[in-house]
Amino acid sequence: MTVPLGFCYFLVLTVAVSTTLGLAVTLAGPIAFGVTLLLVLALSKADLWLTNATLGIDAGSPQFPDTDEGIVDALAGLVLGRDTWVGGLYLLWRSLLGLIAFVLLVGGAGLSFDLLLAPLGYGDALVVNYGYGVVAIDTLPRALGRRPAASAWRSSRCSWRICSAASRQSSPTPRSRTSADAD
């Protein structure tokens, strides 16, 4: 429930705050601000109800300001009330957790599907062609590099023999000294 609720809170609060900031330069700005704060209280109260129903507990919920003393006192209680701002911080935290859960869920699912479907793309063995030859990677130890591939070892050994034979032919070999050379 973290991912869908987090995205829902993020979407609703982003639209509400951006509309409030956009209307801040008009006479509708204070009304939009009050509606946004009421929306924050309503969302935090709904989320607490959902949490109470899911966990089977009875935690106290945020309260809307009383309008018995008048609208000015109710608006002051809404703007300065602890429930409004704690609810807003809670919804912001829940949105952040929803985003993190979504990233981990998508990344984990993508990695799992890639690892599960990788053998279908390789067939019997993954063939790697590098400097000295072709290596068929067909076992886990070979894929992890714990055991050198025999074909790569043979081709590198043959290449070393060819290179060493070519160097012997191109460079003069030192002659051993004999008694005739000493005179």
Q: Domain residues of the chain, as ranges?
A: 2-105, 121-170
* CA angle at 40 for the pair 32 and 48, rounded to the nearest 5°: 160
Amino acid at 26: T
pLDDT at 44 over 50: yes
Share of the chain above pLDDT 70, in %: 68
Q: Is 79 exposed, middle or buried (0-12, 13-18, 19+ CB in 10 A)?
A: middle
> Which of helix, strand or coil describes residue 106?
helix
* First-to-final CA distance of the chain: 99
CB 86: neighbour CB atoms within 10 A?
Answer: 13
pLDDT at 20: 92
pLDDT (0 to 100) of residue 148 = 54
**Strand positions, DSSP E, 19-165:** 126-130, 133-137
Mean pLDDT of the 128-141 span:
70
**78-82, 89-93, 143-147: which has the minimum mean pLDDT?**
143-147
Nearest to 41 by CA among 55, 60, 62: 62
Cβ neighbourhood burial of 19 (10 Å; 0-12, 13-18, 19+): middle
